[in-house]
Amino acid sequence: MFKPARIVDKRGFTLIEGLVSILLISITVIGIYNIVLVSHDFVIDARRVTQATNFARKKLEKIMDTDFLDIPSEYPSGVDYSVGYDSGQYVPDPDYDYLEGFPGDASWRVEYFPPPGGGAPSDPLTIKLIVSWHENNDSDNRERSVHLTSRITAGKM
């Protein structure tokens, strides 16, 4: 018996192949989108840490330009100074230095080791400057901070 020849067209896609390819492309696009979101958060975090570090360096330079014996009175240990805009929680920064784009609860403070008055006036003084803030985009609202430490003596001006 004679069977008619079937013409098989191998061009094009079946419906299943099309659906699978759309599914794979969707999964890839969603993965790339999530990577972009996470990297954006890292960029914001790195920018804030860099800003806080530069702020701390600048503030530490101002402190070191102060007369050695006047440092503890002009920059008392443990006082939180406001860094962010629109903050009523802390003492305003005496030098009016602010960090643009920082949360309103950002602050800086100075700690001394050993505490002033604990030794001779010529003893070296270790100054620790801390800039801290809360990340507003975190679900747990964690506190972030940058610590800069320097050791100065009465002869260093």
Q: Which domain holds residue 78?
A: 15-152
**127: phi then psi, degrees, rounded to nearest 5:** -110, 130
Which two three-digit tokens encode residue 63? Answer: 């402190």
Does residue 3 fall inside a structural domain?
no
Distance between CA atoms of residues 152 and 68, nearest Å: 8
Does residue 6 fall inside a structural domain?
no
Does residue 9 fall inside a structural domain?
no
Confidence of residue 121 (pLDDT cuts 50, 70, 90): low
| Averaged pLDDT, 17-23 | 93
Does residue 129 fall inside a structural domain?
yes
Does residue 4 fall inside a structural domain?
no
Does residue 8 fall inside a structural domain?
no
Domains: count for the chain: 1
Quote the pTM value. 0.68
| Averaged pLDDT, 123-127 | 82
Does residue 27 fall inside a structural domain?
yes
Mean per-residue pLDDT over the chain, rounded: 78
If you average pLDDT over each of 17-26, 83-92, 140-149, which comes out highest? 17-26
